[in-house]
Amino acid sequence: MLFRKISFYLALAGIAGALLLVRRQGTHPPAPGPLSQPARSPFADSVAATGLIEASRENVRVAAPKAGLVTQVFVGADQTVKQDAPLFQLDDREARARLDTMTAQLQATAAQLAVEQNQAADWADQLARIERLERDLVATPDEVKRRQFGRAGAVARVAATEAQIAAMQAQLAQTRTELAVLTVRAPREGRLLQVNVRAGEFAPASALTEPLMLLGDVDRLQVRAEVDEQNALLVGPGKPAEASLKGHADLKFPLRFVRIEPYVVPKRSLTGDSLERVDTRVLQVIYEFQRPTFPIYVGQQVDVFIQRAETPPTPPAPPAPSQVQSVIPPGTPGERTHLGIVGSRAMGEAGRVFLPAFPRCPDTPIRERRFLIS
């Protein structure tokens, strides 16, 4: 009877399905492989670094010489420009109005100079006539003096007007220079990598995180590799290196050493690694390379492997125990005294360390003593 009921077979099917489900859940699928193989060093001993592709002459962050409204942008991104080519125009209406005013004032002063010169010529003619009359005993010496003073005053007014014109011409040249400065031009030949300004926007004169325009020479590229300061001793000048694109370990290209930046700077470009420290400093090493067959772009990150130096420099030996001395300076009773230690084994180099002040006993004189520290 039991085998004739359909519920019996349904129960068996349910049990079999549950067993299969439990068995399937107990098996773990294989872990997926990486999307791309990590970059590998071609050298037996190497130093890894993170690099950034940049223009060989380094990028120029174009800024505005004065704060003002941008009225016109003459260029666009990925456009090649020559030196002194106009990039964008700042609002020059005020400068042009000042230029027109200075030009009108200069013309009026020039007309006034003509009047003064005519008066000076008139006084010179009167003086010549009165001197002839004086020789004929017709005019008095007082009249001659009056004409001489009048002519001298006219000549002085002509000189003053000429000096005023020279000053106005200098101011006019200054106004023209201020007007020319409002047209921002390319400092050198190159290609515009970024254009972050539009007509109608306000361009500040202060330093910006994002430049108004970024100009670079992309015909020749270089890599700025950042080596952790802990590995700086392992990098030597002239060592070969190799770079590969991020996420494409098979796209490699050799690098040629250019120079080592002598100043260690704080790290700025982050790789996104969870174990990466952001408070470290890096040594920047510059390499140049020939443009490969595959496309690369300025600002792209690369993995750099630098051949390690054969023998890193040996650190200086710590000072001998005989060189480690302590100096207790003399003082008056009752005052607080500092203990100065010259050299220390913990420091590993000669130096002076000042410990916190300690109270002196007023009844115990302390003189200067030198003793060894074991």
Spell out the domain ranges in the chain.
Answer: 62-88+184-203, 93-181, 220-307, 321-372
Q: Which amino acid is located at 361 in the chain?
A: C
CATH of domain 220-307: 2.40.30.170
Residue by residue, DSSP assigns 102-113 as HHHHHHHHHHHH
Q: Could you tell me if 213 and 201 are in contact, meaning their C-beta atoms sit under 8 angstroms apart?
A: no
Cα of first residue to Cα of last residue in the chain, in angstroms, is 100
Among 244, 243, 242, 237, residue whose Cα is nearest residue 258: 237
Three-state SS for 298? Answer: coil
Dihedral of CA 207/210/212/216: which sign? positive
Q: How many angstroms separate the CA atoms of 168 and 108, rounded?
A: 11
Among 185, 301, 284, 170, residue whose Cα is nearest residue 248: 301
What angle separates helix 93-135 from helix 141-181, to the nearest 10 degrees?
Answer: 160
State the pLDDT at residue 345.
39
Question: Using one digit for the tens of pLDDT, what is the confidence trace for 77-126?
Answer: 889 999 999 999 999 999 999 999 999 999 999 998 898 888 888 888 88
Q: How many angstroms separate the CA atoms of 260 and 225, rounded?
A: 10
Q: Which residue has the tokens 């223009």?
A: 55
Q: Could you tell me if 255 and 242 are in contact, meaning their C-beta atoms sit under 8 angstroms apart?
A: yes
Q: Which amino acid is located at 230 in the chain?
A: Q
Number of H-type helices and E-type strands within the chain: 3, 21
Query: Residue 72 CA to chain centroid, in angstroms?
Result: 26
- The CA angle 155-156-159, to the nearest 5 degrees, is 90
State the pLDDT at residue 356.
44
Q: How many angstroms separate the CA atoms of 362 and 41, rounded?
A: 69
Parts of the chain with a pLDDT under 50: 322-358, 361, 363-374
Exposed (0-12), middle (13-18) or buried (19+): which is 323, by Cβ within 10 Å? Answer: exposed
Q: Read off the pTM.
A: 0.57
Helices (H), ranges, the chain: 6-26, 93-135, 141-181
Three-state SS for 18? Answer: helix
